[in-house]
């Protein structure tokens, strides 16, 4: 007991010191970046011409366009080392604060995105962006970041209606009245809430009015999606896109409504005096209530410790899952640099809501069943469709896979990864709630003779590239390197526009730092897609996923399952593809349904790339960055593939002479790694 009291005293003392430290630092601190993004593939080298041009662009005096003191665009150098830049302040910011913000932003963007050819950084008052390609008049409506308040409004439906009307009005102002700046703001009293709402919209000034409207509508849809995913409407939201942004708050943040002494970045005497008074008040309050808090905290901790020890062996599956997920999320709190954009607590949905949406898990709503358990379609009260994965009591997967799925997908955001909206943990139920994919999975289109004609060649190329981008994000663009370990056609879902989404992360593994491979005694996955070194030795790496992608690529081209060729032709799809390739008849692998829509050189390249991905030795397989690069570049030549891994197993690499390689299909051999 005495030890616990001492720990309580130490904890409160530590909290007090940290609080005072944070306040004192806040007085002197510079403005903080809201968010930044950096390209992961396009890099430049230290001391290069591109770096010289970038420094010249960022640090030369700003040449404002006309009388507009808040917006500057610039370019420096000549192709292929030309740099395009953009400096834009919020439309209501005064010139002095605009300059201060940009000075901080252009220094911070190089610190946060070293040696990157493309980067963008947002602050409250400004943004700075540069790229090796022109972008100022190009529409980029991909949502980069959503920041929102942890507090919520009390009447969400009515509030969203008012919000929609306000943003429609602001969008009209920005694209008609303030056409040069593409900016509008407003502070209106919402009578129903007895509160004043402050809001703004802004597009890049060079964006056309039509594209500005499109961008802002996309941004507003981000508010709706956020409200759906967290089942509540926040009191404040900020949506950041490369071409536009919008924001609303129920407190004043616009320059016209905020006194200069409280604006971020203003370091005048009034601000310092205000913060000094605030520190004094907080110290007085803390000292006054310290004795009461101490007694109450110690009593609570002692009771809590006894309760945990007593119930440790009697926890329900719900408590176990919440603990496992919570501990993992805390341990990786800055995973993906999303502290500011996400609540620490993952959205948990009530079981009653799921039962109502699925008509109590009726057979009519059942979409299918996998290793995890059955999957159901659900329809929420507002008409939005969702998909619910239900952990089966007899499933070979369990709590560990459930936790893995939540921890990974909840922290990943990419257009080619399925989006996890929440989870449900009540009683004996363990449910995962996803966005609904109306076209189900890729295998239904590839391997069903009634459906495969729908996938003409252009659509298949789109799916192949989307899958490659999703895997590349997992391997290289997220904070931790992620190995999926179960890539296959049934785990590629298709949305209403036939865009591919990688799903089922229950078997995935995370790598950190410089880790490149790992070993396991528990081999999981699907026969026919597993790399030989993984199936036989339990050794997995990014090259294991590359092997699976190669199998998937050949299946998409041929319209046939890898394993189905064993019974039909007495050999695997990989063996069959290799045989045709060496005979110079690679196009015979093509799905007959593609005869009218195919582009022969593209099909040949995909077969070639698929064979490169399924090489026996992992070192001979390309990385996903190379795969994505080769898919997008028709002029690049590829190395010759060697005989792929037909059976499970891994053998030592043997020297290969020229007569062991096939020269076919008029493809010559060299490979370039994208920078």
The pLDDT of residue 660? 37
Comparing CA positions, the residue from 490, 514, 371 lying closest to residue 442 is 490
Q: What top-level class would CATH report for the domain 35-131?
A: alpha beta
pTM: 0.49
Q: For 645-658, what is each residue's pLDDT tens digit?
A: 754 433 333 333 33
Q: Give SS3 for 297.
A: helix
Statement: residue 22 has pLDDT above 70:
no
Give the number of other Cβ atoms within 10 Å of residue 2's Cβ: 6
Statement: residue 283 has pLDDT above 90:
no
Q: Which residue has the higher pLDDT, 644 or 405?
A: 644
**What average pLDDT does range 625-631 have in this prediction?**
94
Q: Are 325 and 317 in contact (CB under 8 A)?
A: no
The pLDDT of residue 318? 46
CATH of domain 351-435: 3.30.200.20
The pLDDT of residue 26? 42
Confidence grade of residue 24 (pLDDT, cut at 50, 70, 90) = very low
| Percentage of the chain modeled with pLDDT above 70 | 77
Mean pLDDT lowest for which of 271-280, 539-548, 631-640? 271-280
Q: Which of 486, 504, 545, 591 is catalytic?
A: 486
The pLDDT of residue 267? 39
The pLDDT of residue 214? 96
Which residues lie closer than 8 Å to 224 by C-beta, 6 or more apart?
Answer: 160
Q: For 396-417, what is each residue's pLDDT tens digit?
A: 556 677 777 777 777 788 999 9
The pLDDT of residue 27? 37
The pLDDT of residue 191? 64
**C-alpha dihedral sign at 258, 260, 261, 262:** positive
Q: Is the CATH number 3.40.50.10330 carried by domain 442-660?
A: no
Mean pLDDT, the chain, whole residue set: 80
**What average pLDDT does range 319-336 have in this prediction?**
44
Domain with CATH 3.30.200.20 in the chain: 351-435
Q: For 353-397, what is each residue's pLDDT tens digit?
A: 999 999 999 999 998 887 678 899 999 888 889 999 988 766 555
Q: Are 387 and 278 in contact (CB under 8 A)?
A: no
Q: What are phi and psi of 14, to 5 degrees?
A: -60, -45
Q: CA dist 424 to 44, 318, 393, 527, 652, Å?
A: 46, 9, 15, 31, 47
Chain centroid to Cα 57, Å, comes to 30
Domain with CATH 3.30.430.20 in the chain: 35-131, 145-262
CATH of domain 145-262: 3.30.430.20
The pLDDT of residue 564? 59
Confidence grade of residue 108 (pLDDT, cut at 50, 70, 90) = very high
Statement: residue 323 has pLDDT above 60:
no
**What average pLDDT does range 75-94 have in this prediction?**
93
Give the DSSP H or E segment for 632. Answer: helix 624-632
Confidence grade of residue 469 (pLDDT, cut at 50, 70, 90) = very high
| Percentage of the chain modeled with pLDDT above 90 | 46
659 carries an active-site annotation? no
**What average pLDDT does range 84-100 have in this prediction?**
92
Q: Which residue has the higher pLDDT, 433 or 6?
A: 433
The pLDDT of residue 572? 84
**What average pLDDT does range 548-574 have in this prediction?**
81
The pLDDT of residue 542? 93
């Amino acid at each position: 007991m005495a030890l616990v009291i001492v720990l309580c005293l130490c904890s409160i003392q530590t909290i007090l010191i940290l609080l005072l430290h944070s306040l004192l630092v806040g007085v002197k601190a510079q403005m903080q970046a809201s968010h930044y993004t950096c390209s992961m593939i396009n890099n430049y080298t230290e001391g290069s011409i591109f770096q010289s041009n970038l420094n010249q662009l960022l640090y030369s005096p700003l040449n404002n366009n006309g009388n507009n003191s808040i917006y500057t665009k610039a370019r420096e150098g000549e192709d292929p080392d030309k740099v395009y830049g953009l400096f834009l302040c919020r439309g209501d910011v005064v010139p002095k604060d605009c300059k201060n913000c940009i000075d901080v932003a252009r220094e911070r963007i190089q610190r946060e995105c070293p040696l990157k050819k493309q980067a963008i950084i947002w602050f409250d008052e400004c943004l700075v962006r540069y790229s090796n390609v022109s972008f100022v008049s190009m529409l980029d409506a991909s949502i980069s970041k959503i920041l929102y308040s942890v507090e919520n409004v009390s009447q969400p439906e009515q509030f969203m209606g008012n919000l929609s009307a306000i943003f429609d009005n602001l969008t009209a102002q920005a694209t008609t009245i303030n056409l040069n700046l593409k900016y509008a703001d407003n502070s209106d009293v919402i009578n129903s809430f007895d509160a004043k709402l402050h809001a703004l919209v802004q597009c890049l000034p060079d964006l056309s009015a039509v594209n500005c409207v499109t961008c802002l509508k996309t941004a507003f849809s981000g508010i709706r999606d956020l409200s759906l995913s967290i089942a509540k409407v926040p009191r404040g939201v900020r949506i950041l896109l490369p071409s536009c942004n919008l924001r609303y708050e129920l407190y004043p943040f616009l320059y016209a409504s905020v006194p200069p002494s409280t604006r971020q970045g203003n370091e005048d005497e009034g601000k310092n005096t205000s913060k000094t008074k605030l520190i004094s008040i907080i110290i007085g309050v803390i000292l006054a209530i310290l004795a009461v808090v101490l007694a109450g905290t110690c009593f609570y901790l002692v009771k809590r410790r006894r309760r945990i020890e007593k119930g440790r062996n009697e926890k329900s599956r719900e408590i176990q899952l919440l603990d496992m997920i919570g501990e993992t999320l805390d341990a990786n709190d800055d995973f993906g640099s999303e502290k500011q954009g996400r609540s620490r607590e993952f959205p948990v949905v009530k079981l009653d809501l799921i039962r109502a949406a699925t008509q109590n898990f009726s057979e009519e709503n059942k979409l299918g069943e996998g290793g995890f358990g059955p999957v159901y379609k659900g329809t929420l009260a507002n008409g939005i469709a969702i998909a619910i994965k239900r952990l089966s009591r007899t499933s070979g997967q369990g709590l560990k896979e459930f936790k893995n799925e939540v921890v990974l997908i909840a922290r990943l955001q990419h257009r080619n990864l399925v989006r996890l909206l929440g989870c449900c943990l009540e009683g004996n139920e363990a449910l995962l709630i996803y966005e609904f994919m109306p076209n189900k999975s890729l295998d239904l289109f590839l391997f069903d003779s009634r459906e495969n004609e729908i996938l003409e060649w252009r659509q298949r190329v789109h799916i192949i590239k989307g899958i490659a981008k999703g895997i590349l994000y997992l391997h290289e663009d997220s904070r931790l390197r992620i190995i999926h370990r179960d890539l296959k056609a049934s785990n590629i879902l298709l949305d209403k526009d036939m865009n591919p989404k990688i799903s089922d992360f229950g078997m995935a593994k995370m790598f950190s730092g410089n880790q490149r491979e790992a070993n396991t005694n528990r081999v999981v996955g699907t026969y026919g897609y597993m790399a030989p070194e993984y199936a036989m030795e339990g050794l997995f790496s990014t090259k294991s996923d590359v092997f699976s992608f190669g199998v998937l690529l050949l299946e998409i081209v041929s319209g046939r399952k890898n394993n189905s060729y064993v019974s039909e032709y007495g050999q695997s799809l990989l063996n069959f593809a290799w045989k045709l390739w060496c005979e110079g008849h690679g196009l015979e692998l093509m799905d007959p349904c593609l005869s009218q829509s195919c582009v022969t050189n593209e099909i040949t390249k995909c077969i070639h790339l698929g064979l490169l991905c399924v090489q026996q030795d992992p070192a001979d397989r390309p990385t996903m960055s190379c795969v994505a690069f080769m898919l997008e570049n028709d002029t690049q030549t590829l190395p010759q593939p060697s005989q792929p891994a037909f059976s499970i197993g891994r053998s030592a690499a043997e020297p290969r002479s020229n007569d062991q390689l096939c020269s076919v299909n008029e493809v010559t051999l060299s490979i370039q790694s994208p920078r």
